[in-house]
A = this chain, B = another copy of it.
Amino acid sequence: MNIGVLGGGQLGRMLALAGYPLGHDFVFLDPAPEALCGLGSHLVAQPDDARALAELASRVDLVTYEFENVPAAAARTLAERVPVYPSPAALEVSQDRLHEKTLFRSLGIPTGPFAPIDSSETLATAVEAVGTPAVLKTRRLGYDGKGQRVVGGPDELAPAWAALGKVPCLLEGFVRFERELSCLAVRGRDGTVAVYPLVENHHEAGILRRSIAPAPAATDQRQADAASFARRLLERLDYVGVLALELFEVDGGLLANEIAPRVHNSGHWTIEGAETSQFENHVRAITGAPLGSVAPVGVSAMVNLIGGWPDPARLLAIAGAHLHLYGKAPRPGRKVGHVTVRCDEPESLAHGLAAVERIVSEGLPRAT
């Protein structure tokens, strides 16, 4: 099939690398001329360019996306012409933190305390409902820690909201979590659901640095809870494709934080560390093929390369290390690649992960 992808970053690239062996071809729509060098066809246009969207629709059998800030109108326009997976409705929910949290609640999925802020009048009620410390987040267009302000006490809320431009926001209570987890799940066109093992994630400055999978010492109960949450979301949204659910592990269980309606950075380990990668399973799902096994193959750790990368030869010399560069120019704060260490045993994994982290922390960012 010909698959259209809105966005041409590393997620699109890895979708293509997984999809070619299944006999598919790819057309990407991305405004950056240098996106995805060498893979698939590329329409250089903004995702709201009506002519480009019409051309995309005419060239492909279906459309998916690799970033969630696709204008909902664009997704809906496309959906009148070709199947779009996941559905524009799923996209829209994930684009609004209030809708997202409200959906969690309506499905009985626990969350931390939250309250909407859309006027000066709502400031006081929100801070009363949520307490402080809290985090103020814009309802729309936030990712990787952008569009957020920490609110230490009640007095800090009004200035924080002003700093965010007084756009509609959500005040979220500070969750004292033990760790961050994520759950990658996939649903096929026929409604079949498969859920990968829980992943343990480590963020710094709001950006994912490291994932370990399966999450060490995750109980069967936690895995079952996460799978149940993911399944409820997938079914309610009549979702097709891979969904990422970010979670906090707290004393009493799991709290849902947010969803990403796409393949996700915390699932990159599945390329080597699971029987079928999240990218292949997303392609299988949207093309109507049976899902592949989500069983782990040994244990894995993924480290993001941010801003640049060390000498590839040093990374490739580490036992079990697999390098993924995205063909992107180095730039501060930019995800330009990742390294996955896959081993049969947790002991060798710890060893390999330490070696990768040492090199990544030492290494000066560099181009090839």
Chain A positions within 8 Å of B, measured between CB atoms, are 1, 13, 16-17, 20-23, 25-26, 37-41, 275-276, 284, 288-290, 292-293, 297-298, 312-313, 316-317, 319-320, 322-325, 327, 337, 342, 368
Contacts and interface: CB of A to CB of B under 8 A. Distances in A.
B275 A320 contact: yes
Contact of A312 (B23, B39, B319, B342): B23
A339 to B, nearest CB: 10
Contact of A313 (B289, B317, B322): B289
B275 A289 contact: no
Contacts of A313: 288-290
17 contacts: A17-B17, A17-B20, A20-B38, A21-B322, A23-B323, A25-B37, A25-B38, A26-B38, A38-B39, A38-B40, A275-B342, A276-B322, A289-B316, A290-B313, A292-B316, A292-B322, A293-B319
A40 B368 CA distance: 18
A356 to B, nearest CB: 14
Nearest to A292: B316
Contacts of A17: 17, 20-21
B20 A327 contact: yes
Choose among A288, A289, A319, A320 the residue with the greatest number of B CB atoms under 10 Å from its CB: A289
A298 B293 CA distance: 15
Choose among A20, A325, A368 the residue with the greatest number of B CB atoms under 10 Å from its CB: A20
Number of copies: 2
Contact of A293 (B40, B290, B320, B327): B320
Contacts of A289: 312-313, 316
A23 B368 contact: yes
A325 B39 contact: no
> 4 nearest interchain CB pairs?
A23-B325, A290-B317, A21-B324, A290-B316
Nearest to A336: B23
A284 B312 CA distance: 10
A288 B39 CA distance: 24
A34 to B, nearest CB: 12
B297 A21 contact: no
A324 B18 CA distance: 10
Nearest to A342: B275
A20 B13 CA distance: 9
Contacts of A325: 21-23
A61 to B, nearest CB: 10
A231 B327 CA distance: 35
Given A23-B312, A290-B313, 15 more contacts: A17-B20, A21-B322, A21-B323, A21-B325, A22-B316, A23-B325, A23-B368, A26-B38, A38-B39, A38-B40, A276-B322, A289-B313, A289-B316, A292-B316, A297-B298
A15 to B, nearest CB: 13
